[in-house]
Amino acid sequence: MTDFAPTEVLTRTQSSDAVTPLGWRYVINCLMTSIAVPSMAAGSALSAALVEAVPDADQHLRVDLRPGRVDLTLQTFALVKVTGRDVELAEQITSVVTERGLATAPGQQGERVVQVLEIAIDALDIPSIVPFWSAVMGYGPGVGDSPELFDPYGEGPTFWFQQMDEPRVQRNRIHFDIVVPHDEAQHRIDASLAAGGTLVSDAEAPSFWILADREGNEICICTWQARDHE
């Protein structure tokens, strides 16, 4: 059993050492594991049992149910950090999973393992572009003074910003597409422009609009419309 206080924020090493023997992995600011299940029905039943076993699940646990697997993420959401309580829950959840004849594991080597996608944006004036990316992605503000932006629902990648020493003269060779419902697009565009962005092109609207932050990093707001003749 863990000796950490429930509210103690753990270091990366503490987090990893505590949960690796349980079949969990510390990835970045969270603990993750994957459970192979024989069917969606079995995965659904397991998910319900785990949520029932964790009284504070709304503050710590995300469950992703897919055919053949249930992926779990633990994190103290209010802090976007791993605390002693998250390690305690990893132990508790692992016990419930084991009692059902299943196993917690990070995934098979050479196959899909637990992972977190982050997107880094280089910038000269980071504070000036963070509001744009928060608005265009529909993300909430970062936690405290952190320039990182996290999806409040834990579905999309984290955006973080890396300090540049001098401007980049080349055109971006990679950009992002965010696909939203057709009746959300104008709201997202308006919010992005109000947050300091610019409209690069609406020539292909309503299929997509090209927007950019103050330093020229581009993203397309996309919908399903005008992509065929229907």
CATH, residue 85: 3.30.1360.20
Domain CATH number, residue 123:
3.10.180.10
Asked if residue 160 is part of any domain, the answer here is: yes
User: Per-residue pLDDT averaged across 32-44, rounded?
Assistant: 96
Assign 116 a pLDDT band (cuts: 50, 70, 90). confident
Is residue 181 situated within a structural domain? yes
Are 99 and 35 in contact by the 8 Å Cβ rule? The answer is no
* Burial (CB count within 10 angstroms: exposed 0-12, middle 13-18, buried 19+), residue 192: buried
Q: In 3D, which of 129, 131, 194 has the Cα closest to residue 162?
A: 129
142 contacts 101 by C-beta, under 8 angstroms: no
- Say whether both 16 and 94 belong to one domain: yes
- Domain interval for residue 199: 118-222
How large a percentage of the chain has pLDDT more than 90? Answer: 71
- Whole-Å CA distances, 136 to 36, 37, 132, 208, 221: 36, 37, 6, 13, 8
Q: What is the pLDDT of residues 140-169, one digit of tens each?
A: 776 666 678 988 888 899 898 988 888 777
Residue 174 has pLDDT above 90, yes or no: no
| Cβ neighbours around 221 below 10 Å, total | 24
Residue 77 falls within a domain, yes or no? yes
Q: pLDDT at residue 178 above 60?
A: yes
Which one of 99, 131, 161 terminates a domain?
99
Which of 12-16, 96-100, 141-145, 184-188 shows the lowest per-residue confidence on average (mean pLDDT)?
A: 141-145
Whether residue 59 has pLDDT greater than 80: yes
Query: What token pair was written down for 3?
Result: 């000796």
106-128 average pLDDT score: 84
Q: What is the rounded average pLDDT for all residues in the chain?
A: 91
Amino acid letter for position 54: V
- Are 70 and 132 in a shared domain? no
Residue 22 lies in a domain: yes
Q: For residues 76 and 147, state if they share a domain.
A: no
**What distance in Å separates the CA atoms of residue 73 and residue 27, rounded to the nearest whole number?**
10
Are 123 and 95 members of one domain? no
pLDDT at 39 over 80: yes
- Are 78 and 145 part of one and the same domain? no
Domain count, the chain: 2
Closest CA to 212 of 108, 110, 135: 135
- Percent of the chain whose predicted confidence (pLDDT) is above 70: 93
Do you know the residue count of the chain? 230
User: pTM value?
Assistant: 0.84
Kindly report, residue by residue over 80-105, the tens digit of the pLDDT: 899 999 999 999 999 999 999 999 99
Predicted local distance difference test score (pLDDT) of residue 145 = 63
Do 146 and 215 reside in the same domain of the chain? Answer: yes
Looking at residue 95, the DSSP 8-state letter turns out to be H
